[in-house]
Every structure is written in C-alpha cells, then in structure tokens.
C-alpha cells in the first residue's frame, strides 16, 4: 500500500468498500463469530459505513474551513472563547473511543472567524486516529497559523475507553491536556483568565 503525506492530510491508495467489508468478515471469524448468521449478514457493510463517519477527518482540510473571516468587529481585540465542544475520536493504539469536550480560545488579529468554524476544526482533527496530546496541538497550531491570531489556547478533557473498558479498567479516569500559543503562552494573565472562563 502506498501512503502519501502532506501537511494536512494522509492519502492512501484507495481501498474499496467491498475490500473493507471482506476485512470485517475476517475479523468476525477471528473473534469466533459466524458472519453468515442472520444478525451479522449486514454487519460488515454497516461497520464500513460507520468507519467512514468515524474517520471522515482524513478527507477534510481544516485550514480551508478557516479561510473566510470577518473584519467588521468594531475593533474587538479580546479573547474569543468557545466552551464544551463535544469530542468523539478514536485512539490510535487500540482504536477505542475517546469521548470528551474541548475548550478553544483565540485572540483575533483584526479579523474573526465564524463561531461554528472553531468547532468544525475540532471535529476534523477528532475524526482521525489520535492521541489526545497531538489532537490538542493540531487544533491550536491550525487556528494560530491560519487565523494569524495573537494567541490560541486549547484544552481537552476526555475519557479514553482503552483505559476504561480494557487494560487497567479505571472507569472514572479522565485526561486533561492544554496547549497555549502566543499571548496565552507568554502572558499568564491571559492564560489565567481563560482558565477561569472554562471553569465556569
């Protein structure tokens, strides 16, 4: 299989839906199931369709989402904070779900972006195999560079089912990651205000 990487996406030589379904048939056999029984006849097709949704972020460019900005903000220059953006991702080590929330803030540099775009950037990177640390950095770096922002802060608080359903099985454990750029990194007063906002 040939893999070609660019800055935002990974392109892999195409695998057909039929080939993916055949792979899931093999997995069903491997776990000890009978793929020919009634309840499982359509399962490989359904799982293939579900995987397209789980991992649709590979087909999307997060920078393109941020291309349209607005300058008619009458000089607004303080932070814009969006809290409680739902995160549904999958860990790259076990392909188990990561479920949580993201908080995102940026300090505009003359222009702002539509509020839904911030959540869409979180969505694109979430819909890929991830580590939470990398997901946090990818969101922050993309917002900082594409918006030419004065600063960006990203926090993710999530539960990893590779920890809660298998392995150590600590059901109440959550993981918090933070990443700061620009004024949020260099000026603790901005960072502290941001942390107070997302704690409310």
How close are the terminal C-alpha atoms of the chain, in Å?
48
The domain 3-54 is placed in CATH, from the list 1.10.286.10, 3.30.1490.100, 3.40.605.10, 3.40.50.720, at 1.10.286.10
147-185 exposure pattern, b = at least 16 Cβ within 10 A, e = fewer: bebbbbbbbbbbbbbbbbeeeeeeeeeeeebbbbbbbbe
Q: Is the pLDDT of residue 162 over 50?
A: yes
162 is catalytic: yes
103 is catalytic: no
**Over residues 40-50, mean pLDDT:** 98
Contact present, 108 and 73 (Cβ < 8 Å):
yes
Q: Are strands 97-107 and 69-70 parallel, antiparallel or unpaired?
A: unpaired
- pLDDT computed for residue 9 by the predictor: 52
Q: Is the pLDDT of residue 1 over 80?
A: no
Residue of 33, 82, 92, 161 with catalytic role: 92
38 is catalytic: no
110 is catalytic: no
Higher pLDDT, 200 or 174: 174
67 is catalytic: no
Residue of 21, 60, 90, 91 with catalytic role: 91
Q: Is the pLDDT of residue 12 over 70?
A: no
Return the C-alpha torsion angle 36, 42, 47, 49, nearest 10.
Answer: 150
The domain spans of the chain are 3-54, 64-199
Strand partners for 101: 86, 157
User: Are 3-54 and 64-199 equal in CATH topology?
Assistant: no
Strand partners for 156: 102, 177
Contact present, 128 and 137 (Cβ < 8 Å):
no
- pLDDT computed for residue 32 by the predictor: 98
Per-residue pLDDT tens digits for 183-199? 999 999 999 999 999 99
Residue of 93, 110, 133, 145 with catalytic role: 93
90 is catalytic: no
The architecture of the domain spanning 64-199 is 2-Layer Sandwich (3.30)
59 is catalytic: no
- pLDDT computed for residue 73 by the predictor: 87
């Amino acid at each position: 299989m040939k893999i070609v990487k660019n800055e935002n996406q990974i392109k892999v030589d195409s695998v057909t839906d039929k080939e993916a379904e055949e792979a899931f048939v093999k997995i069903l056999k491997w776990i000890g199931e009978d793929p020919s029984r009634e309840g499982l006849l359509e399962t490989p097709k359904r799982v293939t369709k579900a995987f397209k949704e789980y991992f649709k972020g590979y087909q999307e460019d997060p920078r393109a989402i941020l291309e349209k900005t607005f300058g008619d903000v009458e000089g607004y220059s303080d932070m814009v904070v969006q809290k409680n953006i739902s995160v549904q991702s999958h860990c790259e080590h076990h392909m188990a779900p990561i479920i949580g929330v993201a908080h995102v803030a940026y300090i505009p540099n003359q222009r702002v972006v539509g509020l839904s775009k911030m959540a869409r950037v979180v969505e694109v990177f979430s819909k890929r195999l991830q580590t939470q640390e990398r997901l946090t950095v990818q969101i922050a770096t993309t917002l900082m560079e594409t918006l030419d922002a004065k600063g960006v802060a990203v926090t993710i608080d999530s539960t990893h089912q590779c920890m809660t359903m298998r392995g150590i099985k600590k059901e109440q454990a959550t993981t918090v990651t933070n990443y700061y750029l620009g004024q949020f990194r260099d000026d603790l007063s901005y960072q502290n205000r941001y942390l107070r906002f997302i704690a409310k």
